[in-house]
A and B are shown apart, each in its own frame.
Chain A
Amino acid sequence: MAKPAVVVVGADKGGVGKTTVSRTLLDYFSANNVPTRAFDTEHPRGTLKRFHPEITEIVDMNSTPDQMKIFDTLSAVAPSVTVIDVRAGLMSPTLAALRDIGFLDAARSGQITFAVFHILGSSIASLDEIAETASYMVGAKYFLVKNFINNTSFFEWDQSTYASYFNRIKDATELTIPKLNEMAFEQVEVASVPFLKFVANKGPHDEAANYSFVLRGYVRHWLANVWSEYDRIKLTDIVGSAAKAAAPRQAGEK
């Protein structure tokens, strides 16, 4: 059985596109035939669950039973990859909780694959987040994600300042999520389906839909660019050998 992998997507700042990135990850794993489950910590609402209801469970990261639900089942359940969409403000507490329950030690000793997608906002506060997160990252794969999907310009950043933060974390990798056409993004929101289903012109229950060909084209193009970033970091290799037997992608191909 493949080594369990946990992918945490988070940021302390809200509105930087954590759930969007989580959605692209779930689509990516799905297209690469990597069995995946997801936890949405936006308790009790759950935006991620709206898009991926079959594989997503809403949990309260502050509650011990829910923490047990995630981490005590890592080896026991079939999907080897667990994606956790961490709600705004909970990134640091979540990492602290993972350290306290010994999860980070397990990652350090190689029993578990642990990856963090840290979504950066445009403000200088995001750089402070990097510094704060750095202390937890030993043994983890750490990805700093610049998310341009909502036209973030990262205007406040001075490159040398950013580099000094970036260099504090050994082996940190930078990822870029490109901008998606606003109307296309809105239509996927309204449709409440995964990006992949939108591209394939399917509704929530796989029924034929009637989305705009233009908007589907924009989403397909954008998703292919996002996935090429995931290919670049060899994400399927990172999350384990199960992914290596990946089947051809169905959509968003490049």
Chain B
Amino acid sequence: MPATPIYIVCSPRPQVGKTLLARLLSEFLLLKNGEALAFDIAIREPSLIDYVPDVTETAEIDDTYGKIQLMDRVIIDDGVAKVIDLGYYSFDEFFKMSEEIGFLKEAARRNVAPVVLFCADTDRLSLRAYDGLQHQIPRSHLITVENEHVLRDDLPDWIKQGRTLRIPALPLFLKTYIDRLSFSFTGYLRREKDTSTELHQWIRHNYYTLRELEHGLILQRS
């Protein structure tokens, strides 16, 4: 039986596209599997729960109770893929806790597959955070997200080290369009009959990349 994936979208920096990726992932998983469960730990930033409220719950990891509420749910092998949109201010706390409680070992025991999607930036804080993750997360489970909106082809060398997932840039007017709270990627694909539009292709490209990512994980485990 395939492992239940947990996608942890994270960065120690704000405004690097975490929620955009979490939205894409949540909608992609919903479209593909018919179900998904997302946790929004970024409620001080543009919030996932505002975009995909039907499958998103808010969570906090400031105290032990909040950690229990989150982690005891995501560690369950119930076949429902999970997405965690991790706010930049919770980055250190989350991974410190993960290491302390042996999250990865327990996940492996329970047929749950955490995947860390690290939204890269060019600053030193991101480099340091990525370094820390490399010590904790196996290479196959750590994916660097190369968001062209943020990096603008200014790729530091460390980003090229491991596996990457690229999110192409959109023109500003389309970026503003998809940032509207009422916007749904899958809704747009269904509604827009002209498949040659830039946005149509952008969404399909991203969904295809996410499907490839998922297949890669399944192959790895088998």
Chain B interface: which size bin? 10 to 19
Of the residues A182, A213, A218, contact of B75 by C-beta under 8 Å: A213
In the assembled complex, the Cα of A206 lies from the Cα of B71 at a distance in Å of 24
Total inter-chain residue pairs, C-beta < 8 Å: 36
A-B contact sample (10 more), CB < 8 A, given A182-B64, A214-B97: A183-B64, A183-B68, A212-B72, A214-B68, A217-B101, A217-B103, A218-B101, A220-B102, A221-B100, A221-B102
Report 13 cross-chain contacts, Cβ distance below 8 Å, ordered by A residue.
A183-B64, A183-B68, A212-B72, A213-B71, A213-B72, A214-B67, A214-B72, A217-B100, A217-B102, A218-B100, A220-B102, A221-B100, A221-B101
Closest residue of chain A to B74 (Cβ to Cβ) is: A213
**Is the CB of A215 closer than 8 A to any CB of chain B?**
yes
Chain A binding surface SS class? helix
- Say if the beta carbon of B214 comes within 8 Å of chain A: no
Once the chains bind, are A213 and B101 in contact (CB under 8 Å)?
yes
User: Are B106 and A184 in contact (CB-based, < 8 A)?
Assistant: no
Cβ of B65 under 8 Å from chain A: yes
**A217, B68: Cα distance in complex, Å:** 11
Q: Is the Cβ of B64 less than 8 Å from the Cβ of A214?
A: yes
Interface residues of A (CB under 8 A from B): 181-184, 212-218, 220-221
Q: Is chain B's binding surface mostly helix, strand, loop or mixed? A: helix
Contact B65 A183 (CB under 8 A): yes
Query: Which residues of B are found within 8 Å of A184, using beta-carbon distances?
Result: 64
Please report the C-alpha to C-alpha distance between residue A220 and residue B49 in the assembled complex, in whole angstroms. 34
Q: Which of A182, A212, A216 has the most CB of B within 10 A?
A: A212
Q: Which of B79-113 contact A (CB under 8 A)?
A: 97, 100-103, 106
A210, closest chain B residue (CB) = B72
**A-B residue pairs, 10 tightest by C-beta:** A217-B101, A183-B64, A214-B71, A221-B100, A214-B68, A212-B68, A214-B67, A217-B102, A213-B75, A213-B72
With a cutoff of 8 Å between Cβ atoms, the chain B residues found around residue A214 in the complex are 64, 67-68, 71-72, 97, 101
Return the chain A residue nearest B61 by Cβ: A214
B68 touches A215 (CB 8 A): yes
For the complex formed, measure the closest distance between the CB of B14 and the CB atoms of chain A, giving whole angstroms. 26
Given the complex of chains A and B, what is the CA–CA distance between A221 and B68 in angstroms?
16
- In whole angstroms, how far apart are the Cα atoms of A183 and B66 in the complex? 12
> Is A217's CB under 8 angstroms from B64's CB?
no
Residues of B within 8 A of A181 (CB): 64
A213 and B64 alpha carbons, distance in the complex (Å): 12
- Minimum CB distance partner of B102 in chain A: A217
A213–B106 contact, CB under 8 A?
A: yes
- In the complex the two chains form, what is the Cα distance from A182 to B102 in whole Å? 18
Q: Which residues of A contact B75 (CB under 8 A)?
A: 213
B190 CB to nearest A CB, Å: 38
User: What are the residues of chain A within 8 A of B67 when measuring CB–CB?
Assistant: 214
Which residues of the other chain, B, contact A213 by a CB distance below 8 angstroms? 71-72, 75, 101, 106
Q: Measured between alpha carbons, how far is A55 from B106 in the docked complex, in Å?
A: 30
Q: Give the shortest distance, in Å, between B204 (CB) and chain A (any CB).
A: 38
How far apart are B146's CB and chain A's nearest CB, in angstroms?
32
